[in-house]
């Protein structure tokens, strides 16, 4: 494995990015950075503190006074907001419904990207999100774009929620994911899109292990 390996995994909500990225990171010993969790943590704080989400300046001000940390714990990544573990709290339906609005603000994305790039510069890293290959790590040696049908992605998120004891409605999830796809793909700044040099993988009919093995082979091929 070569030094300073950067792997970018992009794709819409529920495509399996985080699950796959964590497993690939464990295989190669890479630092895993879940950028979506960072936006979720900020959204959770805004909702909790009843900040006006339509006020970009206010949202950005909150971010500049917020500490978001990603820590590995028992092979799982824990998310800390101002030193409080909010790993499960940021997966609520309310956060799901609002995170795209928060993430669309240019100044918010610029600050988040600055933090993400600082994390990435220290060593071998795998990062997942929606603009990693196009904006956060355009220099990544390996770029993957994961996709799946809306129905399949909603089904996966629904099952994941139920396993975690989070209330979930499949129809509502399907509608929310379709709406988030539109918001993410049409935002003015750093929208969700496949990088021109990314390899797209449709995971609709694939198991997690199959996707992981596919990406491992791609990484190994690109690092020979």
Number of domains in the chain: 1
Tell me, yes or no, whether 151 lies in a domain.
yes
Question: What pLDDT is recorded for position 74?
Answer: 62
Tell me, yes or no, whether 208 lies in a domain.
no
Tell me, yes or no, whether 50 lies in a domain.
yes
Tell me, yes or no, whether 34 lies in a domain.
yes
Question: What pLDDT is recorded for position 82?
Answer: 97
CATH of the domain at 69: 3.40.50.300
Domain that holds residue 17: 6-203
Tell me, yes or no, whether 211 lies in a domain.
no
Tell me, yes or no, whether 28 lies in a domain.
yes
Tell me, yes or no, whether 77 lies in a domain.
yes
| Structure token pair of residue 188 | 């003015």
Tell me, yes or no, whether 137 lies in a domain.
yes
pTM reported for the whole predicted model: 0.85
Q: What is the mean pLDDT of each run of 10 residues along the chain (224 residues)?
A: 78 91 92 92 98 96 94 78 95 91 94 90 88 94 96 93 89 94 91 95 95 96 80
């Amino acid at each position: 494995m070569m030094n300073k390996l950067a792997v970018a995994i992009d794709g819409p909500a529920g495509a399996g990015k985080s699950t796959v990225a964590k497993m690939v990171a464990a295989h190669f010993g890479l630092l895993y950075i879940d950028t979506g969790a960072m936006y979720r943590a900020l959204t959770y704080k805004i909702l909790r503190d009843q900040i006006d989400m339509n006020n970009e300046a206010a949202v950005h001000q909150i971010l500049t006074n917020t500490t978001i940390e990603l820590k590995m714990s028992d092979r799982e990544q824990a998310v800390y907001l101002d030193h409080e573990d909010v790993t499960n709290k940021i997966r609520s339906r309310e956060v799901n419904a609002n995170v795209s609005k928060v993430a669309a603000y240019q100044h918010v994305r610029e600050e988040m990207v600055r933090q993400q790039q600082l994390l990435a510069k220290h060593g071998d890293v795998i990062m997942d999100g929606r603009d990693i290959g196009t904006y956060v790590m355009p220099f990544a040696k390996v770029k993957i774009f994961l996709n799946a049908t809306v129905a399949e992605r909603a089904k996966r998120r629904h099952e994941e929620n139920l396993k975690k004891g989070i209330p979930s409605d499949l129809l509502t999830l399907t509608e929310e994911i379709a709406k988030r796809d539109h918001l993410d793909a049409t935002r003015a700044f750093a929208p969700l899109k496949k990088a021109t040099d990314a390899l797209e993988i449709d995971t609709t009919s694939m198991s997690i292990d199959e996707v992981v093995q596919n990406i491992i082979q791609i990484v190994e091929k690109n690092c020979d």
